[in-house]
A = this chain, B = another copy of it.
């Protein structure tokens, strides 16, 4: 029997094959999509055309990340568009992280896992473990099948420090205590190595470095998902620096997410060719962060 490829191994393999650690965020804002028609078709066509152009231009994304909220807001139409995008990605061997930040416990978390992996059929999901390890545990059986689960650690937004940066009695910050939960699960070998990742904002490069160094020092494999580059103010080059530089072998399992940087590339580049503009932006980013 061949060993199942772990989630982190898959991330590493695809990044090397595609020479990219960029995650293409797929967060549709209808009023920024230059297409008309039914919402389901507009959303699907927009992203299908962008992804197809990337494939055609030999910059197939090493992963994509739709945020559930952007589809959910349009009800069944939005969710059908999400399903079609997921289907297109599978046909083209592009893994999908569903950014849903789910956080519930026991049977409820099991129900989320079922919906996420069995119904929507994505490859990874983001979760919020404010409720502790009870949120994560029901996902472990899926991790054994190669799925990935990213826990929020230090998020990219302005108010993330209100809870996450609070200093504990022992001098640690709350975000490090959140990282501790992940490392603790790994240490007890409760879950497949490389299947539990962390979300850390590009807008906080010092904390990003601190968290990455912490996982390295604990000798655990924690792929990071790093949003916040672009509009939110983070820089992809700073992220790579914080992760130990381009030459660091570990860099391949991490992903830097960019969303509106792609969907609004055509606006920034003053063109109507939205797919071509997104391709250009991905090539630029791959060059900026790649080896």
- Taking Cβ atoms with an 8 Å cutoff, the residues of A that contact B are 27, 29, 67, 69-70, 72-76, 79, 101-109, 111-112, 114-115, 118-119, 128-135, 152, 155, 157-164, 166-169, 174, 177-178, 181
Contact = CB atoms under 8 A, between A and B. Distances in A.
13 contacts: A69-B111, A72-B115, A73-B112, A74-B119, A75-B119, A76-B79, A79-B79, A101-B102, A131-B159, A163-B174, A167-B168, A168-B168, A169-B169
A119 B79 CA distance: 12
Contacts of A27: 107-108
Contacts of A161: 132
A164 B67 contact: no
Contacts of A111: 67, 69-70, 72-73
Contact of A132 (B74, B104, B128, B159): B159
B101 A67 contact: no
A130 B133 contact: no
Overall SS of chain A's interface: helix
A157 B155 CA distance: 24
B167 A155 contact: no
A67 B108 contact: yes
Given A67-B111, A132-B158, 5 more contacts: A73-B111, A76-B76, A101-B104, A132-B157, A168-B169
Contacts of A152: 130-131
Contacts of A166: 168-169, 174, 177
A76 B120 CA distance: 11
A207 to B, nearest CB: 14
Q: Which of A106, A162, A174 is the most central at the interface, judged by chain B CB atoms within 10 Å of its CB?
A: A162
Contacts of A167: 168-169
